[in-house]
Structure 1
């Protein structure tokens, strides 16, 4: 069972902020930074970049402070007897890089909501959210290969997947990161295992599949293609079939047949 004492998102503090609990709390504390900060680690104060997580167990010395004009973090103080927390492989009192800061921030937002409202499945929801949080922390801790450009690449990939219909080109993407097109393609593939343009195409086809299902009979294939970033409907149809095995119309017929089978059964 887990019990949250307090959880906060985007807690902002001035440059003179510090947090000093020599004997620690009598419970767990998880902090995820959104700005650079200094932490007391191995008997000395060390500076760490933004997007770091640190887990403190009960009665462990806690000391961290701002090292820029503002200090912003997400944090949660809680008790737990769940093995995925009490027997975690994560280090205690040592900051480590976060794989996907935006994802973890959304989990914090949901934890704040669940903690503040007394809903029927509050305890279960909090447990599931904390399980996901600690899974993500483990993924981050055992993730090798963080580069100085990693978080910029992550933002670029999120933008591609959230807005695949934008006019993405390798030169434009490279310019947004301040790197050459060749270097972007190299580090993107190395980081995510897929090229940036393959990511664009896959995201566009995923969106097209949703639109073909949602707007069947109300929008033409050409209109859907345009909304997904294509100015040539033949090019869209060719890429759609290459990835899905169906033409756009064939994809809609397949869905119609599947829906009819469910209704008749």
Structure 2
């Protein structure tokens, strides 16, 4: 299985589908979308995922004029890969709604990091990551028992709040204001958040900003200062330190590597 490209936190205002390319594409759709199946107009209500096969012609459309937010992986498969995917028992070319996208989101973020740094075992890492994604999708489609995570108090509210953080990384996201909105103590909030997602709320805020920064570095010619401001940082130097700490390179180095990868 060869990964062609990985794009996270993408936004699109218009319908898309078949024009994504001739190779299979995996999509994590973070917003509701409209689509057609067997002549019926359908829509998803939350986060969904779809594996689009080669030559896929269907279109996914925004709901109520709101942009579609999505992550995407384009890849090539061998006969063995296609046989494995078929054995996973989930439908292709149609969205599968997810109760929890934690496993798939984590796998995609790890894949993007490996894709940029081109480690020694990148091929094995990518294939194993895609298999994890397919297994998670298969379990969802088979209506596997609900994860213990979903039994955490206020889980639905926490998940909605976490999605809002990734949707709007520029927001200040005050912990005290979030606690006040949920009417719980700061200590209890931290306990619930860590139990639900395995990281602190602050770590999610940082990750959302750095994901957005990475996309801007790859896809725009904005300066590092402009990107820092757009991602909610008051200080360019603090943004650069935090980016290097979490991405193991400076923003400028990240941009050079991204451009170099695209040129290959």
TM-score, normalised via structure 1 length: 0.52
Conserved 8 A contact 1:84-1:134: no
**1:129: how far off?**
0.8
| Match in the other structure for 1:32 | 28
Q: Cα offset for 1:97?
A: 1.6
Distance in 2 between the 1:108 and 1:176 partners? 30
Work out the number of aligned pairs and report it: 168
From 39, 44, 63, the equivalent of 1:43 is: 39
Report the counterpart of residue 18 of structure 2 in structure 1: 21
Matches for 1:1-265 after TM superposition, within 5 Å = 2-14=1-13, 17-21=14-18, 25-67=21-63, 68-81=65-78, 82=81, 83-143=83-143, 151-152=156-157, 176=182
Alpha-carbon offset, residue 121 of structure 1: 0.4
How far did 1:102 drift?
2.8
Separation in structure 2 between the aligned mates of residue 78 and residue 66 of structure 1, nearest angstrom? 24
Deviation per residue, 1:152-203 (Å, 9 max, x gap): 37579xxxxxxxxxxxxxxx99x839xxxxxxxxxxxxxxxxxx9xx97xx6
CA deviation vs aligned residue, 1:49-97 (integer Å, no higher than 9, x gap): 2211111222232311111422201111111232432433110122112
- SS in structure 2 at match of 1:26: coil
2:88 is paired with a residue whose SS is coil
8 Å contact kept, 1:80–1:86: no
Distance 1:126 1:145, change over 3 A: closer
Larger radius of gyration: 1
Quick one: distance in 1 between partners of 2:25 and 2:104?
Answer: 15
- Residue 37 of structure 1: CA displacement? 0.9
Q: Secondary structure at the match of 1:49?
A: coil
* Residues 71-80 or 91-100, more deviating: 91-100
Q: What CA distance in whole angstroms lies between the structure 2 residues aligned with 1:120 and 1:78? A: 19
CA RMSD of aligned residues (A): 3.9
TM-score for both structures, normalised by structure 2? 0.52
**Runs of 4+ deviating beyond 3 Å:** 144-147, 149-156
Query: Could you list the runs of 5+ residues in structure 1 that have no partner in the other structure?
Result: 157-171, 178-195, 204-265
